[in-house]
Structure 1
Amino acid sequence: MRRPFREEISDIRPASFGKRLLAMLYDFLILVSIWLGVAIIATAINQGAVDSAMGRAAMQSAQFCFSFLFFAYFWTRNGQTLGMQAWRLRVQTFDGQRLNWTQALIRFLCAIISWLPLGLGYFWMLFSDERLTWHDRWSESCVVSLPKKARDK
């Protein structure tokens, strides 16, 4: 099923490495607040004790799931997380459509794999002619830079 974006933008080009890195930093700060919220709730549910292996595993699993839901919600809704909105970036399919939930899951899991070898999967875009990271290729998506909106006069 094709899911086009609301607006048609003709001046789209691949996002630069620097903008992608800054958007990731912004989103990472939001993720930290989500993780802290999950940890506070887990601690409250366990009456202040999350020191057992089972309690830690449950809390980390919840943090992982909420991290995926954060990214997948924004990627499938309008192609932009909050960090991507700040830097005018958008993730889309190769033919300019919105990601579906399966692509979002593949992108999320493969982005973790891209980080594991010291970020090599991300740095790969610097040497790729298409400027794609590993997880871009595997999820059949790309990050593009959107043009500035013209101000109404």
Structure 2
Amino acid sequence: MTDSAAVSDLTTPLPPVPGSTVPTIRRRLATMVYEGVILFGIVFIAGYLFSTLTQQRNGLTHHNVLAAWIGLVVGVYFVWFWTHSGQTLPMKTWHVRLVDADGAPVTTPRAVLRYVLAWLWFLPPLALHPLLGLAVPQTLVIAAIWFVLWASTALFNTHQFLHDRLAGTRIVAIAR
């Protein structure tokens, strides 16, 4: 695939999915906020289990393993829901579904790829924190700017976020 073919794939409108429309960016961001509330509970339970099973007495003990564990648990949560119904609870509430570029259910490898690419919402600015020795307020400002820039890719990218286009997936609104 040439570079121009890759660029045209990212900007070419996708064919419509029967019985669905493209949800607004506001609706998708609202789904993400609700997802954050659900993830708070999942991460809390995963952290509690890790701390209990490893007899962790200090938050700095095994913190890298804990981070990997939580990343795995969150990944399993998303991949399982995306491959079984195409919807997490917040997606059901906001009447949106994840499908592949053709409108078919998402396969496990594609769901894993989407999960990994979705970390691009957060990891680039957070990686700058230790690399540049930034203070927390500076990191938060950079993260906020990055978040807005990443979200704005949907405005220029056929109303789908960049990680969806790269993963070959899309979010569609479904009838209520």
Under TM normalisation by the shorter chain, which class is it? 0.7 to 0.9
* RMSD over aligned Cα atoms: 1.7
Structure 1 consecutive aligned stretches of length 4 or more whose deviation exceeds 6 Å: none
Q: Does 1:18 align with 2:55?
A: no
User: In structure 1, how many angstroms separate the alpha carbons of the residues matched to 2:53 and 2:154?
Assistant: 43
Alignment-derived partner of residue 49 in structure 1: 57
For 1:46-91, what per-residue CA distance to the aligned partner results, in whole angstroms no more than 9, with x for missing partners?
A: 33414344x1112111100011011111111111111100000001
Q: Does 1:100 align with 2:104?
A: no
Instruction: Specify whether residues 145 and 23 from structure 1 end up closer, same or farther in structure 2 by C-alpha distance, changes over 3 A only.
Output: same
Alignment-derived partner of residue 5 in structure 1: none
TM-score normalised by the chain length of structure 1 = 0.82
TM-score normalised by the chain length of structure 2 = 0.72
Match of 1:72 among 75, 79, 89: 79
Q: Does 1:58 align with 2:65?
A: yes
User: In structure 1, how many angstroms separate the alpha carbons of the residues matched to 2:174 and 2:42?
Assistant: 27
Alignment-derived partner of residue 154 in structure 2: 125
Percentage of identical aligned residues: 23
| Structure 2 unpaired stretches of 5+ | 1-16, 126-145
2:175 aligned partner, one-letter code: P
| Structure 1 unpaired stretches of 5+ | 1-8, 149-153
Alignment-derived partner of residue 129 in structure 2: none
SS of 1:98 mapped into structure 2: coil
Q: Does 1:85 align with 2:113?
A: no
1:28 aligned partner, one-letter code: G
User: In structure 2, how many angstroms separate the alpha carbons of the residues matched to 1:85 and 1:113?
Assistant: 24
Q: CA deviation at 1:40?
A: 1.1
